[in-house]
Amino acid sequence: MNPYELTLGQAADHLATKKLSSRELVRSCLDRIEQVEPQIKAFLDVQSEQSLIQADRADERLAWGNAGPLCGIPVSIKDLICTKGITTTCGSRMLENFVPPYDATVIERLKEAGAILIGKVAMDEFAMGSTTESCAFQVPDNPWKSGYVCGGSSGGSAASVAARECMASLGSDTGGSIRQPASLCGVVGLKPTYGRVSRYGLVAFASSLDQIGPLTRDVRDCALMMNVISGYDPRDSTSVQRTVPDYTTALTEGLTGMTIGLPREYFASGLDPEVEQVTMRGVEVLKAAGANVVEVSLPHTDYCLAVYYLIAPAEASSNLARYDGVSYGLRDHKADSLLEMYKESRSRGFGDEVKRRILIGTYALSSGYYDAYYKKASQVRTLILDDFQQAFTRCDLLISPVVPTPAWKIGEKSDDPLALYLSDVLTTPANLAGIPGISVPGGLTASGLPVGIQLQGPHFGEENLLRAAYNLEQGLALPAAWPQLV
């Protein structure tokens, strides 16, 4: 067995018991990257030399016995999380040459735990998209089926984990950007509760929705990553002061006493029959593990997407006003007035989808339209939040599909923005409500494409979420199959 084939948990155990060195593990992942990247195209930057230097340091620490929980483990990072001295492009021409002078808090935490940053991975430009096709540099390929999208916006994260080029990845989720690519690429992806993980150093898209989270090969790996990245950070005013449990202790078999809700609105028309079958198989597994399953209703589900596509662009139009060609980012040097310099820098630096969302957001916030669009959406957001609070009086967790369909062909929906937005219909609610959600691999369709199952829980319900996800994983007992790439 090649070291890159190990899960993060297995690799950490092998490193601790000296069955494997970090250098061997990193070397194996770098070889894998070299082998499969021509097809997968997940990485925007590979830290080949640095990661081997770090691996040798990790091996020294492992030898001394004072190693952190992720010591010597190579991980990839979505290219909108600031990494000191390493280009952070956000998948945009605007930030093509931006080198952050500091590390995001999650990067500091990963480094303290001993993790090795093996590279930065592709994403939709400024995290706006559902396929990673809006990345200004390259479009990753779905490892399971060439020519199919890997989802987005954390598409490079999902593809790099599914292609086993690294042990885990950090992504970000504003409307499904961790869970959706995880579902389409057959990996585990968790969007934590709003406030659980610090966003200091995360390039902002929509600040009331953005959250960083892990993409991993299995549920245990997800818990191990959460142990490291969670927790209060005084540098993020939205981060919440609350103790971080050891999430791995939640991974116990059996769900006796747990009630799982089946939200009927998530099974509306438009759901692919194979996706529905996979979800219902998941329901049977949870029942077999001892959970009680009840039907629940989230009556405003049908409005979530409309609310999301007003609030997210509105916040984005404000957040992205900082790209003015002055202090960092692309600058048009030909313009002779300040106003033209702003306009030309922004028009050249941003791609279509980013411009579109800035326009929608600016319009929704503009004088005369604010009440009709932004305020209205914020009021409906209250109703959506109430729906979840009501549902969680009747059940502990919700089970549903993640995406209404499996992955589609690259280019299939790229001319129709609204058709693409509709694929986020089952993931945006969790962001609007600030609750945690996870995508767990549920199996493959007849044509060999992965389908995920979504679990959602109340605020700070990550332990129950991981326990149910673990039981789902164990009960489904999917053959440990990974895409055959070479």
Residues 20-79 that bind another protein (CB under 8 A): none
Spatial separation of the C-alpha atoms in residues 377 and 115, rounded to whole Å:
41
Per the annotation, the verdict on 48 as an active-site residue is no
DSSP 283-305: HHHHHHTT-EEEEE--TTHHHHH
Closest CA to 210 of 231, 196, 224, 230: 196
Tell me the closest approach of the beta carbon of residue 239 to another protein, in angstroms. 9
Listed in sequence order, the residues at least 6 apart from 371 whose beta carbon sits closer than 8 Å to its beta carbon are none
Q: Does 269 bind another protein (CB under 8 A)?
A: no
- Of residues 22, 41, 51, 78, which has the active-site annotation? 78
* Closest to 158 (Cα-Cα) out of 129, 203, 136, 188: 188
CB of 44 to another protein, least distance (A): 18
* Rounded Cα–Cα distance for residues 78 and 201 (Å): 12
370 contributes a contact to another protein by CB under 8 A: no
Q: Which is nearer to another protein, 52 or 306 (CB)?
A: 306
Residue 358 interacting with another protein (CB under 8 A)? yes
Residues 264 and 243: their CA atoms lie apart, in Å, by 34
Q: Which is nearer to another protein, 131 or 317 (CB)?
A: 317
Which of the residues 157, 160, 177, 414 is marked catalytic? 177
In which region does residue 221 sit, left (phi positive, over 0), alpha (psi from -120 to 50) or beta (all else)? Answer: alpha
Looking at the DSSP bridge assignments, the partners of residue 293 are 260
Residue 179 binds to another protein (criterion: CB under 8 A): no
Q: Where are the alpha helices (DSSP H) in 367-444?
A: 376-394, 417-421, 428-433
Structure tokens that stand for 144 in this block: 């399971």
Which x/- pattern, by CB under 8 A, does the window 304-343 give for another protein? Answer: -xxx-xx------x---x--xxxxxxxx-x-xxxxxxxxx
State yes or no: residue 277 binds another protein (CB under 8 A): no
Candidate residues 120, 145, 346, 413; the one interacting with another protein per rule CB under 8 A? 346
Nearest residue (CB) to another protein, 19 versus 322: 322
* Identified catalytic residue from 51, 134, 153, 400: 153
Q: Of these, 2, 249, 347, 447, which contacts another protein (CB under 8 A)?
A: 347
How many residues bind another protein (CB under 8 A)? The answer is 73
Residue span binding another protein (CB under 8 A) among the ranges 250-258, 397-405, 427-435, 462-470:
427-435
Q: Which is nearer to another protein, 316 or 451 (CB)?
A: 316
Binding segment toward another protein, per CB under 8 A, in 64-72, 139-147, 232-240, 267-275: 232-240
Residue 190, helix vs strand vs coil: strand
User: How far is residue 358's CA from residue 318's CA, in Å, rounded to a whole number?
Assistant: 8
Residues in the chain: 486
Strand, coil or helix: what is 414?
coil
Residue in 381, 387, 449, 455 binding another protein, rule: CB under 8 A: 381
Using the contact rule CB under 8 A, the part of the chain among 103-111, 122-130, 374-382, 438-446 near another protein is 374-382
Under the binding rule (CB under 8 A), the answer on residue 126 touching another protein is no
For 434, residues 6+ apart whose C-beta sits below 8 A from its C-beta are 193, 194, 195, 385, 459
Q: Is 355 in the site for another protein (CB under 8 A)?
A: yes
Cα–Cα nearest to 7, from 199, 223, 203, 176:
223
Taking CB under 8 A as the binding criterion, the range among 67-75, 223-231, 368-376, 391-399 that sits at the site for another protein is 368-376
Strands of 362-481 (E only): list them.
397-401, 437-444, 450-456
**Residues taking part in catalysis:** 78, 153, 177
